[in-house]
Amino acid sequence: MKSDYLKNIAFPEYGILIQSRIKRPDYGDKPHAHKYLSIIYIVSGHGTLERDGCSRNLNPDNIVMLNKGSMHTLTDKAGKPMTVFSMYFAPETAGVDKKIVDYVFSSEEPLNLPVYYAEFVRRNIRQMLHEQSNRPPGCKMAICQLFNLTLLCIYRAKLIISKNADLHSNADSNTRVMAALEHTSINSHEQFSLSDAARLAKVSQRQFTNICRKLTGTSFIKYLNRKRCEKARQLISTTEMSVASIAFETGYEDLSTFYRAFKSIYGTSPTKIKRDLTLQQYDLKVTGNCTPAKKNSRAEPAVVYNIF
């Protein structure tokens, strides 16, 4: 018998509903389908997904995408019941991007989210539940925006995993640290501590430090500072942003910290580099006797690390 858990629930007019599996009726663990697209997130516990005659294991931080009408069964592993949250949505009213939805739902195989994406999804689900339950002013807009960010996160995670499957599936500690360094490099504008990076790689801080030195030849903090300062130098060379604005955009909360990090890497201050570039450009404009630095180029070659 085909059952639809949502048939007796008033679906929100903005097209998104977040539910916990614990609220499901008895047939929730029997074959059933939904009339909306569904994203199922495994918070904790272990179990299986039965679909199309196949059984797939489910573990924490797994994401399952279910198309409309897809018959399935979720079964808990004995002694390790799953905590599951489901996000149901109607694309026509939820304001989602069709290209992203099509890619995310192109496969119904469980997706094992890397730790850094899983943490983002967890935060968003928790906030959506708060907005949905307490309905503060602007809750509809908040839920729609949070859901779209969550969908975008899953989309990006799926793209990365498809290109670097070995970095995210049962990888050894060296590979996990490499993936964490790659993530912090791309997102160096965010605030990362050594403990954050170690947690992403699922290793101790000491182990992370040792592996980081082996891979990059330096400590994690110096590695992160170099990545930030490389981006800062590029912005100094290619934009008219102030040094304070550049410091903020590249992840520095304190301007003096940015100055110290920049000078330790390049041997001079960001203000001097910006002033010299401005003088070169002015001299070129007035006299035509100065060759300015090429746009999008760096005065010093980028440091190449073993992980790239």
Tell me: do 135 and 22 sit in the same domain: yes
Radius of gyration of the chain (CA): 24
* DSSP sequence for 62-123: EEEEE-TT--BEEEEBTTBPPEEEEEEE-HHHHT--HHHHHHHTT--S-EE--HHHHHHHHH
Tell me: do 147 and 22 sit in the same domain: yes
| Distance from C-alpha of 215 to C-alpha of 213, rounded to nearest angstrom | 5
Long-range CB pairs of 247-253 (<8 Å, 24+ gap) are 249/189, 250/188, 250/189, 251/188, 251/189, 251/190, 251/191, 252/228, 253/191
Residue 275 lies in a domain: yes
pLDDT tens-place string over residues 38-97: 999 999 999 999 988 899 999 999 999 999 999 999 999 999 999 999 999 999 999 999
Residue 1 lies in a domain: no
Q: Are 258 and 232 in contact (CB under 8 A)?
A: yes
Length of the chain equals 308
- Secondary structure, 3-state, 232-265: HHHHHHHCCCCHHHHHHHCCCCCHHHHHHHHHHH
Three-class secondary structure of residue 52 per DSSP: coil
Domain-terminating residue out of 167, 189, 221: 167
Long-range CB pairs of 238-242 (<8 Å, 24+ gap) are 238/295, 238/296
In this predicted structure, what is the pLDDT of residue 33? 87
In this predicted structure, what is the pLDDT of residue 288? 59
Q: Are 53 and 93 in contact (CB under 8 A)?
A: no
In this predicted structure, what is the pLDDT of residue 20? 85
- Write the DSSP symbol of residue 190: S
In this predicted structure, what is the pLDDT of residue 299? 41
| Distance from C-alpha of 308 to C-alpha of 306, rounded to nearest angstrom | 6
Maximum distance among all Cα pairs of the chain, rounded to whole angstroms: 84
pLDDT by residue for the chain (308 residues), tens digit each? 455 555 556 789 999 999 987 544 444 468 888 889 999 999 999 999 998 889 999 999 999 999 999 999 999 999 999 999 999 999 999 999 999 999 999 988 899 888 788 889 999 999 999 999 999 999 999 999 999 999 999 999 998 888 765 555 567 899 889 988 988 999 999 999 999 899 888 899 999 999 999 999 999 999 999 999 999 999 999 999 999 999 999 999 999 999 999 999 999 999 999 988 876 765 555 565 555 444 444 444 343 333 32
Q: Are 50 and 73 in contact (CB under 8 A)?
A: yes
pLDDT tens-place string over residues 274-296: 988 876 765 555 565 555 444 44
Burial class from Cβ neighbours inside 10 Å (0-12, 13-18, 19+) for residue 5 reads buried
Tell me: do 163 and 192 sit in the same domain: no
Tell me: do 102 and 206 sit in the same domain: no
In this predicted structure, what is the pLDDT of residue 305? 33
Domain-terminating residue out of 167, 189, 205: 167
In this predicted structure, what is the pLDDT of residue 4? 55
Task: Return the exposure string of 29-63: e unless at least 16 CB atoms fall within 10 Å of the residue's CB, then b.
Answer: eeebbbebbbbbbbbebbbbbbbeeeebebeebbb
- Token readout for 269 is 């201050």
Indicate which CATH number applies to the domain containing 117.
Answer: 2.60.120.280
Three-class secondary structure of residue 173 per DSSP: helix
In this predicted structure, what is the pLDDT of residue 307? 31
Domain-terminating residue out of 167, 193, 216: 167
Percentage of residues in the chain having pLDDT higher than 90:
64
Residue 180 lies in a domain: yes
Indicate which CATH number applies to the domain containing 261.
Answer: 1.10.10.60
In this predicted structure, what is the pLDDT of residue 284? 59
Whole domain around residue 21: which residue ranges? 16-167
| Distance from C-alpha of 131 to C-alpha of 138, rounded to nearest angstrom | 9
Q: How far is CA 9 from CA 84, 176, 275, 288, 302, in A?
A: 19, 42, 63, 73, 57
Q: In degrees to the nearest 10, what's the CA dihedral of 132, 64, 167, 164? A: -110
